[in-house]
Amino acid sequence: MSEPNAPLRPPLVTGDKTLSDVTQDICEPLECRPNALWWVAFLTSLSFLLLGVVAVWYQVATGIGTWGLNKTVGWGFDITNFVFWVGIGHAGTLISAVLFLFRQKWRTAVNRSAEAMTLIAVMCAGIFPLIHMGRPWLAFWMMPYPNTRGPLWVNFKSPLLWDVFAISTYLMISAVFWYVGLVPDLATVRDRTEPGWRKRIYSILCLGWDGSARTWHRYETVYLLLAGLATPLVFSVHTIVSMDFATSVIPGWHTTIFPPYFVAGAIFSGLAMVLTLMLVARKVMTLENYITKVHVDKMCKLILAMGCIVGLAYSTEFFTALYSGNAYEQFVFMNRALGPFNWAYWTMVSCNVIAPQFFWFRSVRSCLPVVFVLTLFINVGMWFERFVIIVTSLHRDFLPSSWASYVPSWIELATFAGSFGLFFTLFLIFCRVLPVIAIAEIKGAAHLKKVPSKQASVQEKVV
């Protein structure tokens, strides 16, 4: 049955892998000492993380004044980075849950790392709303809990509160979904590990997985249900993040297009980040046979689609401003394109709208270095999108007397670098302690495609 499909659908795993090859290849990084490249990457990331820790410590000890913000621009790098990281955190759940529901088998190569990336990115994101507060030690006041102050509740009308719920829900569901998907693989790792503390940890983490049909059945049911539960979150989280802006009165923020616009942007940036990491990982961790050009090609197509949606959103904003007859709105968009921050705007447009257009060409999609560079552009462009939305809307709002500019301070830059440090430190640790590809799932996908080689292995066994 599968034979006629073979030429049409290129195999998802190349290199004539057997089932045990797959297990071996994916588990290997967990079982050997890290190579020099990993150490270099890890120490670099850790240095950035430490830089960030020092910056955050200084800022919390001294005051938000250590940032470049002012009376007019009350949010800058903080919320830009927050939305950026939340956006990055979108692809994981999209790839795992949505593509799972759509039965896209190719997702198996990337879903695990994408989910890990999601979790880490949401953690990075979560830091910023926390530290951007003037008094972060009172952050628990964001939580509606019974208290002796009246009780004094939170303001359920505030989008920031919705954010608290949206982000924490998303983090929780994503973590559970990721963990549930990990369970069979953790069992595999457990089985391969020599007795000792490592084995004990994996034994605990795999929740006594026994590989029986009943376990598999329950596992798959739970996974499907969680996928169904996670899917709406992909849309809700960024919808709510967008409402931080959309429900305000500031021209450039106050716009109904924001929820779909932000969701598309988030998926776009998340996919780009996944692809960036995948391209590095397949090289560094020699996973070329698992993360193939087919995967890259499919990701590129998705990014292209999202890039077009984002481009449409940008132009729609301009049209809305023009058509609204609202002079304040019109001015904000004129100011974005031609005002003092026009360099940021045009960086955003070139990176997010023009760069992905190259993915129309198969030759570009199959040339991995080019793809890598383009994904980097998109990552940069999506960061600038948030910067443009936040800073250019705020810096010249209603009354010209209050117009001001914004330049980030070194503390902000260090905090931003620190968030990347945190991201890569955690990701590198993840690569060392957990299987970066869903072994159980890819076996299912690879099995279908590997009929000829299966024959060969049977012969091998006979011999």
Residue numbers at the binding site for other proteins (CB under 8 A): 58, 62-66, 68-72, 74-75, 129, 132-136, 138-139, 141-142, 152-155, 157-161, 164, 244, 247-250, 327, 330-331, 334-335, 338-339, 394, 396-405, 409-411
Tokens 């073979």, residue? 6
- The DSSP symbol for 247 reads T
70 or 453: whose CB is closer to other proteins?
Answer: 70
Smaller CB separation from other proteins, 334 or 380: 334
Give whichever of 372 and 403 is closer to other proteins, judged by the CB atom. Answer: 403
The CB-of-334 to other proteins minimum distance in angstroms stands at 4
Angle at 82 (CA atoms; ends 77, 87), nearest 5 degrees: 125
Cis peptide before 34 (omega within 30 of 0): no
Q: Kindly state the helix (H) or strand (E) to which residue 177 belongs, with its residue range.
A: helix 159-192
CB of 385 to other proteins, least distance (A): 18
DSSP labels for 284-345? HTT-TTTS-HHHHHHHHHHHHHHHHHHHHHHHHHHHHHHHH--HHHHHHHHHHHHSTTHHHH
Chain Cα centroid distance, residue 125: 10
Q: Residue 75's closest CA among 404, 450, 410? A: 404
Distance CA(75)–CA(397), nearest Å, equals 14
Smaller CB distance to other proteins: residue 71 or 214? 71
Minimum gap (Å) between residue 352 Cβ and other proteins = 22
Alpha helices in 247-292 (DSSP H): 258-284
Length of the chain (residues)? 463
- Within 10 angstroms of residue 232's Cβ, the number of other Cβ atoms is 12
Residue 19 identity: L
Q: State the Cα–Cα distance between residues 329 and 419, nearest whole angstrom.
A: 33
The CB-of-419 to other proteins minimum distance in angstroms stands at 19
Nearer to other proteins, 295 or 396 (CB): 396
The angle formed by the CA atoms of residues 323, 388 and 380, to the nearest 5 degrees, is 125
Residue closer to other proteins, measured from CB, 131 or 428: 131
Q: 427: which residues sit within 8 A by CB, 6+ positions away?
A: 116, 117, 120, 277
Q: How far is the CB of 53 from other proteins (least distance, A)?
A: 16
What are the counts of helices (DSSP H) followed by strands (DSSP E) for the chain?
A: 19, 0
* Closer to other proteins by Cβ: residue 144 or 260: 144
Least Å from the CB of residue 10 to other proteins: 50
Half-sphere exposure of 96 (CA within 13 A, CB side): 36
Q: Where are the alpha helices (DSSP H) in 193-257?
A: 197-205, 213-246
Q: Min. distance of Cβ 58 from other proteins in angstroms?
A: 7
Whose Cβ is closer to other proteins: residue 93's or residue 335's?
A: 335
Q: How far is the CB of 164 from other proteins (least distance, A)?
A: 7
- Rounded to whole angstroms, the maximal C-alpha distance in the chain is 86
Work out the number of other CB atoms within 10 angstroms of the CB of residue 260: 17
Task: Find out whether 70 and 404 touch, Cβ atoms under 8 Å.
Answer: yes
Closest CB 135 distance from other proteins, rounded Å: 4
When the beta carbons of 6 and 139 are compared against other proteins, the nearer one is 139
Q: Give me the least distance between CB of 338 and other proteins, in Å please.
A: 5
For other proteins, which is the closer residue by CB, 262 or 268?
262
Comparison of 204 and 327: residue with beta carbon closer to other proteins: 327
**Least CB distance to other proteins at residue 250 (A):** 6
